[in-house]
Amino acid sequence: MDSLFQAAADAYRNGKRNQRQPSAAATGRTFDHLLSIAVAARLSRDEQLLGRAASGARSRALKAARNGQLDIARQALSESAQILQSGVLSAEARLFLKSFHEAVAAYLDFKRGDPDLARARVERALAADCVLISQYGYDILELHRIQLGHNLMRVEARFGEPQQATAIGAALLSYTEGDNSSWPFPRFGDGARPDHLPDELAEAMVIQISGELAILLAGKPAEETVHLLSVALPHIEGIATDRCNDHLLAHQWLRAKWGFARQAWPAFFENLSDLLRDGLADAPLLWRASVADLYVACEALDTDGAEALRREIAEDVRAWPRVPEPVRAVFARSREATAVSI
């Protein structure tokens, strides 16, 4: 146990110094590149340029919405909507732009606190993706479809349906790993070929979905965590799909979290080390949520080494930018709540 704890502590210290840049897959550059190839092969130059203008407007909308500037976001989105009305666009191009437009509009509704509208918009985007994949051959949009499913998971998580959210999350993990039958939204399953996703994109998506689960579970009581996470038990046991073992970080996190919730500290520390050592480049949500769990574990252990690590984490956390609220809350209600002001 002591050596496992020490290994986790060392991994944390290595990981926080790890300056590795995020991979192209994790930042979305790989997806953007593959998408641009698909678009160049199918849409006219005019349509591509309009699409690029719409993409710029959506980017501004997303950035503003993330910053809480909803008027600026609405304005940018209205510019994207205006492009959707352009008479130059073919039905295919319009559908393509609509999928991405609705996804961003849904995020705006999500930020405004309207889950029904957000769900409806995501579903419109999903419907568009189905047609684009099955009728126009945009295989790469499989990743967008999973992303939209992940967005629905966030809607459920944010608006008080954690069980539904974790169920979606577990199903999306299986689907992303190639299990067609696990797709949680059967109405929007046309043309499903998750096994065609490039490995690095599937890996990035699995980490993203796990990260969302990590945020959802951050700070939840042990009993509730066990209850919610049990839906992902086949993944924890590594038997959900043939590719469970391909996505090591995410599955190690699942096992670590399972150990954490059951206060099975050896399992927790053992499974945490690789993730912590890797740093937050490709898995920022998983990493921060795991550090929060490590912090709580240190409180529970109450040894000199654990206390030293706990203090070190408390100090480090002060410099963290953009901490997700559930993770922030873990530190805020801890023993040094007044000292850990983030």
56 is an interface residue for another protein by CB under 8 A: yes
Among 8, 9, 38, 50, binds another protein (CB under 8 A): 50
Contact indicator for 327, 289 with CB cutoff of 8 Å = yes
68 is an interface residue for another protein by CB under 8 A: yes
Minimum separation from the CB atom of position 109 to another protein (A): 17
Minimum separation from the CB atom of position 33 to another protein (A): 13
Minimum separation from the CB atom of position 137 to another protein (A): 21
Segment interacting with another protein, rule: CB under 8 A, options 13-21, 68-76, 146-154, 273-281: 68-76
Segment interacting with another protein, rule: CB under 8 A, options 13-21, 51-59, 240-248, 270-278: 51-59
Say which residue the tokens 């043939």 belong to: 242
Show Cβ contacts of residue 54 under 8 Å, excluding neighbours closer than 6 positions. Answer: 79, 80, 83, 84, 97, 100, 101
Among 1, 3, 37, 49, binds another protein (CB under 8 A): 49
**Cα→Cα distances 169→4, 262, 326, Å:** 29, 21, 18
Show Cβ contacts of residue 19 under 8 Å, excluding neighbours closer than 6 positions. Answer: 279
Among 23, 27, 69, 134, binds another protein (CB under 8 A): 69
Among 3, 10, 18, 67, binds another protein (CB under 8 A): 67
Burial of 62 (0-12, 13-18, 19+ CB in 10 A): middle
44 is an interface residue for another protein by CB under 8 A: no
41 is an interface residue for another protein by CB under 8 A: no
Say which residue the tokens 């046309």 belong to: 190
173 is an interface residue for another protein by CB under 8 A: no
70 is an interface residue for another protein by CB under 8 A: yes
Contact indicator for 196, 142 with CB cutoff of 8 Å = yes
Task: Provide the residue count of the chain.
Answer: 342
Tokens representing residue 90 in the block: 């073919």
Q: Enumerate binding residues for another protein (CB under 8 A).
A: 40, 45-46, 48-50, 52-53, 56, 64, 67-72, 74-75, 78-79, 82-83, 86-88
